[in-house]
Structure 1
Amino acid sequence: MVRRANGEGSIYRRPDGTWAGQLTYRDDADRLRRPTVYGKTQAEVLRKLAAVEKRLESGAPVRDSSITLAAWLAEWTSTALPASSRKQATIDRYSMVTRKHFIPALGRRPLHLLRPSDVEALVLAKRREGLSAPTVPTIYTVLRAALDTAVRDGLLRDNPAAKVQRPAARRKEAVYLDAGEAGRLLEAVRGDRIEALIRLMLATGLRRGEALGLHWSDIDLEQQILRVRWTLSRTSQGLELGEPKTSKSRRRVPLPRFAIATLAAHHERQQQERIQAGENWFEHDLVFTTEIGTPLEPRNVLRRFEKLTRAAGLPEVTLHTLRHTAASLPLAAGTHTKVGQEHLEHSSYAITADIYSHVTPAQQREAADRLDDALPC
């Protein structure tokens, strides 16, 4: 046996001619540990022992865990993920991503055998599936978060996903309604229970959750403004009223005249429903409610909207189309893109300009015409 310096371990030749090395150390619980490595030569064992020592010095586990990715994800989604500060809707979405995208593709792979090339192959496969623009970056984000926790818990020394560049979201031009299509939609929703909701979303560019979470206390009809402070969403825990996810999402939105008239009329109708419901009315101060004052179910709103758009001959229109339309029409009329960025709380001017690039040709034509008028030629 070749003994090494105190605390470094020992190396010895086995009866079959191969070599083994053993390192002695105490773990965080002060328990004595003696991991063993094997090799065909003494030099190979020395290299392996040096690698073990380096891992111990860096605080990493001696060996990466052989638990499968599926088993780890099951643990992560039931413990670390719910314990995080993420909203319930985000927790639900991350859990769905693990079930739908990771477990079928990589679930049987041992955690310690997962490589950056596996992550890259997954990203490439998901792109080829034609998933929506933000979905592939989200898949990467979830996998990296899960593996970050595995590193934290000592199951891995390094996160293989961290060595892969995050896939960029491929932005598409926004689908929006022109003035004629918007008029057809408004005619289709006339008299319907969600008419006021649709008109307000079209006027302000609010997201569905922001509109459904709107309180009367957030609206100032005299100042012609509303504040976005809440968002309503359906989660695994039921309907959840929470704050917007970013500081930019908490904003003040100016109200055009037709939105003010819509809200005033809607308030009168809701007062009548409150009287008719009597003791059965649930007071939540919400702007858009059922006949007894309870929050509207987001999925029911979507189903009703889809039925109305089909009737209007606009089957490809979604609720998010209203948000794009609320931005596109003013931009096409000459509103500066910077104003649109602030109105939609995009993080940068470039994002707004990229998404709404379809409205710039009209603005460019107008600029060219103005140049004709200005130049004496």
Structure 2
Amino acid sequence: MPDISIGRLRGGYCVYWIGSDGKRVRHQLKARTRAEAEAEAIDVFRAKRFAESQTGATVAEIWEEYRRDLGDKPTATTMKFTGKAVLAHFGHYRPDQITTELCRSYARNRMAAGISQGAVHTELGHLRSSMTFAERNRMIQAAPHIERPPKPTPKERFLTKDEVARLIESAEAPHIGLAIHLLFATAGRVGAVLDLTWDRVDMDRGIINLRLEDARTRKGRAIVPINKGLMAALQNAKGAALSDYVVEWGGKRVSTIRKGFEGAVRRAGITDVTLHTIRHSAAVAMVSSGIPIVQVAQYLGHSNTAITFSTYGRFAPSHLAGAAEALEFVKLRSVK
């Protein structure tokens, strides 16, 4: 919540805060209850503070306000990094000054500097989200159009089980090998695996719960079974555990495994692989083994099976086989 206070005024409620000039600003509210006043006060504060004018809020100010509003959600952390490039280009502009050409020049400059099209798509997506937030909260009259380069087609690269085994064996630190094993065996996202605590690993029932009670992430997470290989790895890790986290280093939660993973990739002699490739590979392995799409969707934490089918349906052994037969017109003659 912004740095504001609720008070009483003329039989009702008011909101007040300290302005940029150091003086107190006060505004009468329409609310008749304290709860209504707290909700209205936020809108009034933002509308007054960021009222669009020649001296209105800049993109940088709105960006930071949006990050504060996100609180401890993962996107807020990601925006600390994407904001370095986005704000260097757009930060000093007001939203009404953003043009299509300004967006295109940003994309050109970033990709010329070697940044991937997918990363640029994400960065401009954060800008778009912050502008939508500003419009929704009446900081600006209308959000500008943010043009983004197309989202790149997902790479077809996926790992075989032998390659995954080589990756695990090539990990120098035990926690990196365990993390890779967990990523493949649970088909979970990196954040879910690094968030995993021992209280959500039920070895008696053979189940791992990747979900967080506070639902801090909008990305789906699942409850999945533990296969034999992973069970053995988890039993070894549990015996040496120094913290509540399954993937730990020196008794502390691990925030990233990127460097350790990239080192394992080099030593394993594997190319064109990212951390997300492991989740993708797990999905392909399940589908190509004949596991029904509905079950794969549940394993991946997808709430919409259509997404799972559109992404992985082509890997199913019988995919489109019936359609091919329907197009058959050549009749084979028996040879006497």
Which band: TM-score by shorter chain? Answer: 0.5 to 0.7
Taking structure 1 as the reference length, what is the TM-score of the superposition? Answer: 0.61
Q: 1:351 and 1:127 mapped to 2: Cα distance?
A: 30
Shift of 1:230: 4.2
Q: 1:200 maps to what in 2?
A: 182
Q: 1:294 maps to what in 2?
A: 252
1:73-116: CA deviation from partner (whole Å, max 9, x where unpaired): 232244x2243144354223334434413542x4554544445x
Q: 1:268 maps to what in 2?
A: 239
From 272, 278, 296, the equivalent of 1:340 is 296
Q: Structure 1 stretch 117-126 or stretch 326-335: which is displaced more?
A: 117-126
Compare CA radii of gyration and give the structure with the larger one.
1
From 302, 319, 327, the equivalent of 1:364 is 319
From 237, 248, 273, the equivalent of 2:220 is 248
Q: Residue type of the partner of 1:328?
A: V
Taking structure 2 as the reference length, what is the TM-score of the superposition? Answer: 0.67
Q: 2:59 maps to what in 1?
A: 73
Shift of 1:311: 0.9
From 116, 119, 125, the equivalent of 1:140 is 125
Q: 1:29 and 1:261 mapped to 2: Cα distance?
A: 63
1:181-233: CA deviation from partner (whole Å, max 9, x where unpaired): 233324324884432222222211122221122111101112111101349xx
Q: Residue type of the partner of 1:72?
A: T
Q: 2:309 maps to what in 1?
A: 353
CA contact (8 A) 2:167 2:268 kept: yes
SS at match of 1:226: strand
Q: 1:212 and 1:144 mapped to 2: Cα distance?
A: 26
SS at match of 2:240: helix
1:114-145: CA deviation from partner (whole Å, max 9, x where unpaired): 45x45774687589767344752552353342
CA contact (8 A) 1:136 1:169 kept: yes
Q: 2:228 maps to what in 1?
A: 257
Q: 1:151 and 1:243 mapped to 2: Cα distance?
A: 23
SS at match of 1:145: helix
Runs of at least 5 residues in structure 1 that lack an aligned partner in the other structure: 1-27, 31-58, 232-241, 275-283, 372-376
Shift of 1:356: 2.6
Q: 1:47 maps to what in 2?
A: none
CA contact (8 A) 1:219 1:227 kept: yes
Q: 1:211 and 1:148 mapped to 2: Cα distance?
A: 30
Q: 2:205 maps to what in 1?
A: 223
Q: CA RMSD in A?
A: 4.0
1:1-377 matches, within 5 Å, as 64-67=52-55, 72-78=58-64, 80-87=65-72, 89-101=74-86, 103-104=88-89, 106-107=90-91, 109-115=93-99, 117-118=100-101, 121=104, 125=108, 131-133=116-118, 135-136=120-121, 139-146=124-131, 148-149=133-134, 152-153=137-138, 156-161=140-145, 169-189=151-171, 192-230=174-212, 243-246=215-218, 248-249=220-221, 251-270=222-241, 284-291=243-250, 293-298=251-256, 301-356=257-312, 359-360=315-316, 362-364=317-319
Q: 1:151 and 1:321 mapped to 2: Cα distance?
A: 36
CA contact (8 A) 2:287 2:313 kept: no
CA contact (8 A) 1:210 1:228 kept: yes
**Residues 265 and 157 (structure 1 numbering): CA distance in 2 closer, same or farther, change over 3 Å?**
closer
SS at match of 1:326: helix
**Residues 165 and 191 (structure 1 numbering): CA distance in 2 closer, same or farther, change over 3 Å?**
closer
Q: 1:3 maps to what in 2?
A: none
CA contact (8 A) 1:65 1:112 kept: no
CA contact (8 A) 1:185 1:309 kept: yes
SS at match of 1:351: helix
Q: 1:351 and 1:256 mapped to 2: Cα distance?
A: 25
**Residues 289 and 108 (structure 1 numbering): CA distance in 2 closer, same or farther, change over 3 Å?**
closer
Q: Residue type of the partner of 1:199?
A: H
Shift of 1:335: 0.9
Q: 2:307 and 2:192 mapped to 1: Cα distance?
A: 21
Q: 2:284 and 2:231 mapped to 1: Cα distance?
A: 21
Identity %: 21
Shift of 1:352: 2.0
SS at match of 1:253: strand
Runs of at least 5 residues in structure 2 that lack an aligned partner in the other structure: 1-25, 29-46, 327-331
**Residues 168 and 87 (structure 1 numbering): CA distance in 2 closer, same or farther, change over 3 Å?**
farther
Q: 2:252 and 2:157 mapped to 1: Cα distance?
A: 32
Q: 1:132 and 1:64 mapped to 2: Cα distance?
A: 32
